[in-house]
Amino acid sequence: MRKTALRLVLAAAALGASAAFAATITVLVQSTAVRKRPQFFAPSVATAKLGESFAASGPDGGWYKVDAGFIHESAVTAKKVKLSAGSTVGGSATADEVTLAGKGFNSQVESSYKKDTPANFAAVDAMEKRAVSDSAVLAFLRSGGLLGQEGSK
């Protein structure tokens, strides 16, 4: 009886430990940088897109390690993810999952909202076009004396 209980505890501990160090992560944002090092301003070595999944370890200090580099934990989930086509990634169990995009409040709901509510969506569209590239932000930081010794190398 005691042996069985001990086995159960060890098995649960093994599950917990492994879950912390190995996972399939799925990107939840349109795009996010895969960085050379687990640092805010480390150079981007690739871009991970919405719905892409990676085998990863971590997170450690807020970063998952994947083959190509490091992805910040805020841009991904280690939960099972339902894709818009109805398929899933990140797991085979059948309990619930994270919805990637498309479900709930979406462009359809926004269109319906716009019909009855006057609001300046044109200004929001213009605002969204203003984003600058990762390299332009790094150049801005560098020219302002804001990049540390390790930054962007």
Partner 1 sequence: MKTLKLAVPAAALLLCGCSNMQLDVSGLTGGRISNEQFQSATKVASAVRHSAEDISESEEYYIGRAVSAQIMSRYRPLDDPGLNLYAQKIVQAVSMASDRPSTYKGYHVQVLQSDEVNAFAAPGGFIFVTTGLLKLVRSEDELACVLAHEVAHVAKKHGLKTIKASRLTSAFATLGAEAAKNYTPSQMSQLTDVFKGSVDDVVNSLVVNGYSRDKEYEADKFGAQYARNANYDPAAMKSFLERMQEADKAGAGGGMFKTHPAATKRISELGDLTPSADYKRSVSRERRFKAATVY
Cα distance from N-terminal residue to C-terminal residue, the chain: 58
Size of the site for partner 1 (CB under 8 A): 81
Query: Is position 1 an interface residue for partner 1 (rule: CB under 8 A)?
Result: no
State in angstroms the smallest separation of the CB of 45 from partner 1.
15
Query: Is position 62 an interface residue for partner 1 (rule: CB under 8 A)?
Result: yes
x-or-dash pattern for partner 1, window 68-97, by CB under 8 A? Answer: ----x-xx--xxx-x-x-x---xxxxxxxx
Query: Is position 67 an interface residue for partner 1 (rule: CB under 8 A)?
Result: no
Query: Is position 141 an interface residue for partner 1 (rule: CB under 8 A)?
Result: yes
Give the containing element (helix H, strand E) for 64.
Answer: strand 63-65
Query: Is position 104 an interface residue for partner 1 (rule: CB under 8 A)?
Result: yes
Write the single-letter amino acid at 50: L
State in angstroms the smallest separation of the CB of 138 from partner 1.
9
One DSSP character per residue, 66-133 reads -SSSEEEGGGEESS-EE-TTS-EES----S--EE-SSSSS-HHHHHHHHHHS---HHHHHHHHTT---
